[in-house]
Amino acid sequence: TPWFDHTTREGIQIVVAHGDITQQQVDAIANAANESLDHGGGVAGAISKAGGPSVQKESKDHVRRHGRVRVSETAVTSGGKLPCEYIIHAVGPKWERGHEEMNERQLRKTCFNILTKASATLRAQSVAIPAISSGIFGMPKQKCADALLLGLQQFLKRAKSSSCTLRKIIFIDMDQETVKILADTFNNKV
């Protein structure tokens, strides 16, 4: 059962749920990647393992061709053995003292770029997104939730006027406390 479930006026369902992103029946999932798309630990490790070797291979090919993926930017691979068609590898910021406000802006942009890539480029109807940067990259969970909400709001504002393919956006995480904070943050805000 979702912790938050709200459908916007434009008919886009926004969900916050607890669970494993690799199991989601959606068109695209977002990965919390690093700039070299080395999917070691965290959600990246889980996605890479569940998707099979093609995920890491396509990722390395992408970096070889286009270079490292900058903070807030995305790179797309196929989903391999996962139920999703696409993986949107997104690089969130590393939480750095003295750069808090910049890091928050960078994560807002990361979220906005994921949603734009899913809709405008991939023509996806559904996408799942984890709490990027809040694990190994160390962003406080509340700051992460605030930034993801801002990115979502920015996207939804623009989705009104343009043709948005997305019908369902799921924010999903394995960590209970993170899910609670996301749900509390999104409540009455979307």
Give residues in contact with ligand AR6 (CB under 6 A): 20-22, 32-34, 38-44, 46, 92, 130-137, 172-175, 178
Q: What is the DSSP letter of 6?
A: E
Q: Which is nearer to ligand AR6, 120 or 136 (CB)?
A: 136
CA separation for the pair 14, 36 (Å, rounded): 30
Q: What are phi and psi of 43, to 5 degrees?
A: -65, -30
- To ligand AR6, the closest distance from the beta carbon of 45 in angstroms equals 6
Q: What are phi and psi of 60, to 5 degrees?
A: -65, -40
**Residue 72 near residue 106 (C-beta atoms within 8 A):** yes
Q: Which is nearer to ligand AR6, 8 or 23 (CB)?
A: 23
- To ligand AR6, the closest distance from the beta carbon of 121 in angstroms equals 22
- To ligand AR6, the closest distance from the beta carbon of 142 in angstroms equals 12
Q: What is the DSSP string of 144-170?
A: HHHHHHHHHHHHHHHHHHS----SEEE
Q: Which is nearer to ligand AR6, 107 or 122 (CB)?
A: 107
- To ligand AR6, the closest distance from the beta carbon of 15 in angstroms equals 14
Q: Which is nearer to ligand AR6, 40 or 140 (CB)?
A: 40
What's at 3, amino acid-wise? W
